[in-house]
């Protein structure tokens, strides 16, 4: 059997940073220097090719246009490779992984995001292990010689996560990511173990790559004392089509003051309001308490256990997919890529 072929897509990020001697700040450098820093890559038994974005960026500068560019690269090279590894800064990695999961419909091959907390040239860097293992996982094939991880994933510090279930929780430690509401897909120790029963079902349909996102999305995070009264008119005049409401606990909000009238006004204006919890673990259960029951009666959409990153990118994806309000509402409550538990 021939070696599996994996394409590295380099966007930038800490993994490929070098220190600017004059300023003392970190800046990205070219992909070939990243790969040359790890000679053992050549011993993986994987045929590796690479491509990089025209503009190498810090992940803080990632935009939806970058997500679309990544989707287009995977579309163009999809039939030539068994898997893909995207080198990306960790700060917005969960947003990018979530976005790619929606843009790549019927994905049948692994798309693994990875990066590092320390640049690859430093002695204690986590970059080498993250990259080597991500490449290994991306090249894994079943006994029939086929790729068997049909998902957009994040690999970081010995753990393989579903991309749209993951968020960055730590800027200091190497274990920067967690997935509180869905178990890990794999773990790397002496051996790499993939929990196949947790993977998405392999699709027998052809890959469909979506190349449009609609960013008319706003976020309102509740806090005691929030004055929401002016928001509906502001959102209406600015063209906002989805408001993500970060509520307390299992989906609760205040019943006094201007909150409920403001939510009602937004919905009356044709704006979809999606309710997700501020808690990083757990889910929205609208109707469990009186405070969320009132939101439910107004027509607020239950976001279940969506992460913030997934809610944002899913809303952008759905807004670009259809203009029909009823269809948008339906899709927001539908598990499209394993991003929510119904």
Cα–Cα separations (whole angstroms), residue 109 to 84, 165, 182, 262, 318: 8, 18, 20, 44, 23
State the residue for tokens 């930038």. 12
For the chain, domains (ranges, CATH) are: 5-209 (3.40.50.1170), 217-332 (3.40.50.40)
* CA quadruple 40, 29, 80, 153: dihedral, nearest 10: 80
14 is catalytic: yes
pLDDT at 290: 77
Q: What average pLDDT does the segment 259-263 reach?
A: 95
The yes-or-no verdict on residue 197 having pLDDT over 80 is yes
pLDDT at 187: 97
Q: What average pLDDT does the segment 244-260 reach?
A: 93
From 11, 14, 125, 133, active-site residue: 14
Short-list 338, 292, 313, CA closest to 242: 313
Q: Write out pLDDT tens, residues 53-111.
A: 988 888 899 999 999 999 999 999 999 999 999 999 899 999 999 999 999 999 999 99
Q: How many CB atoms lie within 10 A of CB 132?
A: 18
Q: Tell me which H or E stretch contains 162.
A: strand 159-162
Residue 271's region, left for phi above 0, alpha for psi from -120 to 50, else beta, is beta
| Residues recorded for the chain | 342
Average pLDDT of the chain is: 91
Cα 59 from Cα 281, distance rounded (Å): 25
Q: How many CB atoms lie within 10 A of CB 148?
A: 16
Cα–Cα separations (whole angstroms), residue 189 to 15, 43, 198: 21, 18, 19
Q: What strands, in cross-sheet order, belong to the sheet with 83-87? A: 47-57, 5-12, 83-87, 111-114, 152-156, 159-162, 186-188, 192-194
Cα 92 from Cα 13, distance rounded (Å): 10
pLDDT at 118: 80
Q: What average pLDDT does the segment 18-46 reach?
A: 67
In three-state secondary structure terms, 31 is helix
Q: What percent of the chain is predicted at pLDDT more than 90?
A: 71
Give Cβ neighbours of residue 55 (< 8 Å, ≥ 6 apart).
none
The yes-or-no verdict on residue 20 having pLDDT over 70 is no
State the residue for tokens 């063209």. 239
pLDDT at 256: 86
Cα–Cα separations (whole angstroms), residue 201 to 80, 103, 196, 222, 287: 22, 17, 9, 37, 32
- Please spell the DSSP secondary structure of 178-219, one letter per residue: E-SSS--SEEESSSEEE-GGGSPPPP-SPPEE-------EEE
Phi, psi torsion values for 91, nearest 5 degrees? -60, -40
Q: Write out pLDDT tens, residues 119-151.
A: 776 667 787 889 999 999 999 988 877 888 999
Cα 95 from Cα 202, distance rounded (Å): 23
Longest dimension (CA), the chain: 68
């Amino acid at each position: 059997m021939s070696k599996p072929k994996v394409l590295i897509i380099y966007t930038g990020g800490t993994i490929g940073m070098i220190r600017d001697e004059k300023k003392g700040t970190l800046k990205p450098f070219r992909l070939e220097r990243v790969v040359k820093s790890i000679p053992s890559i050549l011993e993986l038994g994987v045929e590796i090719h690479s491509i990089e974005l025209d503009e190498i960026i810090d992940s803080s500068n990632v935009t939806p246009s970058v997500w679309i560019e990544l989707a287009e690269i995977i579309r163009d090279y999809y039939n030539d490779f068994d898997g893909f590894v995207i080198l990306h800064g960790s700060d917005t990695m969960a947003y990018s992984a979530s976005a790619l999961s929606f843009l790549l419909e019927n994905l049948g091959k692994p798309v693994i995001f990875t990066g590092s907390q320390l640049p690859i040239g430093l002695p204690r860097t986590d970059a080498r292990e993250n990259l080597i293992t991500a490449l290994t996982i991306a090249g894994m094939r079943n006994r029939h010689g086929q790729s068997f991880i049909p998902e957009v994933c994040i690999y970081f510090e010995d753990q393989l996560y579903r991309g749209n279930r993951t968020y960055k929780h730590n800027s200091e430690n190497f274990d920067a990511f967690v997935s509180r509401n869905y178990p890990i897909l794999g773990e790397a120790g002496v051996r790499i173990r993939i929990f196949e029963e947790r993977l998405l079902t392999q699709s027998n349909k052809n890959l469909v790559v979506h190349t449009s996102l609609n960013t008319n999305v706003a976020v309102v995070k509740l806090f005691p004392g929030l004055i929401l009264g002016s928001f509906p008119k502001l959102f209406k005049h600015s063209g906002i089509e989805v408001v993500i409401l970060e509520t307390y606990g299992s989906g609760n909000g205040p019943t006094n003051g201007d909150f409920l009238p403001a939510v009602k006004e937004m919905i009356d204006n044709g704006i979809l309001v999606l309710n997700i919890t501020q808690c990083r673990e757990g889910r929205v259960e609208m109707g469990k308490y009186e405070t969320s029951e009132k939101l439910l009666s107004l027509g607020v959409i239950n976001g279940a256990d969506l992460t913030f990153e997934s809610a944002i990118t899913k809303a952008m994806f759905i807004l670009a997919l259809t203009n029909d309000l009823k269809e948008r509402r339906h899709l927001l409550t539908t598990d499209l890529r394993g991003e929510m538990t119904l």
